[in-house]
Amino acid sequence: MTQRFLILSLLVLFISCKKEEDKAAVPAYLHIDEFVINADFSKDGTESEKITTAWIYVNDVMLGAYELPAEFPVIANGPTKISVEAGMNLNGIARLRTPYPYYSFYNQQIDLTPDKVHYLNVGVDSLPHGDYTNYLNLTVIENFENPGFGLEPTPKSDTSFVKVDKSEGAFVFKNEPTNSGLISLKPQHIFEVVSITKFSFVPVQNYYVELNYKSEIPFTVGVFMSKGSQTVQAPVVEVFPSEDWNKIYINLITELGNTLPDDYKIFIGAINHETSTKEIYIDNVKLVY
């Protein structure tokens, strides 16, 4: 009898503790639609971004990575530090989602309530914000807003770009200037431009080219690398066509890190293998490292 009573008592105690544990584990929820970038156009260029993923930290412990927009549970109650790290698709490849090292974290102390949906930055726009940070160099190679150009045709190119405004399909974002470059590439013709600026190689972990584009055919982004008296052209990424304006983040580190050049230039090129003229729009070409 005593043994049965003891077992029943332990069972009641276990059920009671389990109920309390389940009650304590009711999560709060965090909702994030997108991550916004703030930038000084005159210094950092466009604020346009293609942030696809948010890495979430709760009290400095990583909770996980979530494709945006997202709503996810957070096992916390009361004042809680939430940090958001912006991520993109490396080289435009969805399966290679990775944090972008040159966007800042968003941090906020938020009072979490179990079983309630919470938004960050509610007093402004309910969206986490970041800016460019922790970079050694940020160069706007070409945004088509200056009298001259930061890109010039190579000897193999028989086609160059023309500057167009928004009435002719240029990239439009917020209240930023709206000129873009348009390439009308005839069948079997070649387009190839290279940065006028020659960049010195320094040993860092990442070299990113950012680019807005809209294109009817694939085009290539890569580097011309000089070492001593030799110059090597290395394609890095073939950018697939896009009917709408898109953005891509391209990491050059594999080519630059393997070659260790004295200096390098960025190139963009395409060959039209179709039987009709095809158009490529480009804008906001940046190098960040």
3-class SS at 59? coil
Is 68 within a domain?
yes
The values of phi and psi at residue 27, to 5°, are: -85, 155
Is 12 within a domain?
no
Q: Do 149 and 254 fall into the same domain? A: yes
Q: Do 229 and 103 fall into the same domain? A: no
Final residue of a structural domain among 131, 160, 192: 131
Q: What is the mean pLDDT of residues 159-178?
A: 97
pLDDT value of residue 14: 45
pLDDT value of residue 18: 45
Is 268 within a domain?
yes
Q: Do 156 and 113 fall into the same domain? A: no
pLDDT value of residue 23: 54
Is 66 within a domain?
yes
Q: Do 87 and 211 fall into the same domain? A: no
User: 259-271: per-residue pLDDT in tens?
Assistant: 999 999 999 999 9
pLDDT higher than 80, residue 249: yes
**What's the CA dihedral at 270, 176, 132, 261 to 10 degrees?**
30
pLDDT higher than 60, residue 154: yes
Q: Across-strand partners of 282? A: 181, 213
pLDDT higher than 70, residue 21: no
Q: Do 122 and 28 fall into the same domain? A: yes
CB atoms within 10 A of CB 201: 19
Q: Do 142 and 283 fall into the same domain? A: yes
- CATH no. for residue 232? 2.60.120.260
* 8 Å CB contact between 98 and 72: no
Range of the domain at 246: 138-288
* 8 Å CB contact between 224 and 231: yes
- CATH no. for residue 25? 2.60.40
Model-level pTM?
A: 0.90
pLDDT value of residue 25: 78
* 8 Å CB contact between 185 and 273: no
